[in-house]
Amino acid sequence: MDTLIHADIFFFITTTAVIVVAIGLLWVIFYVVRILRNVERISIAFRKGTEGMADSIEAIGKNLKNSTAPDKIWNKIISFFLPNFNTKKKSGKKAE
């Protein structure tokens, strides 16, 4: 009779532990799914952004290709990356 009581206590504790672990795993899976959805949204936004950049770079390439003089091409490239490269600053004071 004593062993039957021990067996009942063992099965009760084991069942409780399995239920607690299952609830914990479901909670973890729920948050992992949410994280994966956010990663998917971020990757979609990143893909759209890179496609837009590719279109912009292609347009820049077409504009450069349509330009006839090689010096104009380099001026356009430099002004694209360094907008204030060719501008000369005028100061209000004269050099003495």
Name the pTM for this structure: 0.48
pLDDT tens, 8-56? Answer: 899 999 999 999 999 999 999 999 999 999 999 999 999 888 888 888 8
DSSP string for residues in 35-93: HHHHHHHHHHHHHHHHHHHHHHHHHHHHHHHH---HHHHHHHHHHHH-TTSSPPPPPSS
The values of phi and psi at residue 85, to 5°, are -70, -45
Mean pLDDT, residues 72-78 taken together = 72
